[in-house]
Structure 1
Amino acid sequence: MKMCIVYWSGTGNTEAMANLICEGAVSTGADVTLKEVSSASAADIEGADVAVFGCPSMGDEILEEDEFEPFMSSVTGLLDGKKVGLFGSYDWGDGEWMRTWESDVKKAGAHLLKEGLIVNLTPEGDDVEKCRSFGKDIAGM
């Protein structure tokens, strides 16, 4: 199973989540490609059995607007029938950005494998295992 994890991280929190999710998926034997959004392409998504996207909540609970949101818009047409996972960190709010994002990928025809994983700030304590388990679970679906 090929998995591609594409993320954007401003402070390192979502990057830490991406690395932990990758660890979890690799531990199951999955073939995982981990990319920052600036080096990702549509071909990465097309070539993956599962696409996992990570972006923190920004501003008024939205996706990062300069790199990540444009990338998501560019690959939306590739999501029909694709298995997808979503994750990200937040500092405040109630997770509205994740609910909106989940709705958007479902409207694009994606098969959302799990509820989006959100972590307040840096993944520590129980959140570390939640991230690894997220990767394991998605790799096993």
Structure 2
Amino acid sequence: MNSTVYVEAQMLIRKPIEDVFEAFVNPEITTQFWFTKSTGILEAGKTVTWEWEMYGVKSDVKVNEVIPNQLIKTEWGNPSTHVDYEFRKMEKGTFVVIKSYGFTQKGEDLLKTVNDNTGGFTTVLDGCKAYLEHGIKLNLIGDKFPQK
């Protein structure tokens, strides 16, 4: 395992921490800016399945820890990696940091994975910000790899 490499994406979202945290644990909100289906709310000890219908892709997400309005720790992907979502209250809103780590790839495969994770989680945060702050569904995930 390549434990020294991690990806970090971050964004200030100008909404209360409770609203931003809820957007990540409650699929009724998350589906407005990220995946299209989920089998449930993120709760510690639970495994849910996220689906991106436009790509025919699913992923099981193991929820390791949830500290309300502070932290969500998960494992998901193929191969599985750790993905942590940190929430920090700020004067102007909520600062969200997504960290991905525990990569097993090496060399060029690791570089591609780091690039894909960085871009992917940045896109998620951009979509979340637009949706929560302005009520706009940018469809960033679906438009990232449009069908011909």
Question: What TM-score does the superposition give when structure 2 sets the normalisation length?
Answer: 0.38
Considering fraction of residues, name the structure with more helix.
Answer: 1
Larger Rg: 2
Considering fraction of residues, name the structure with more strand.
Answer: 2
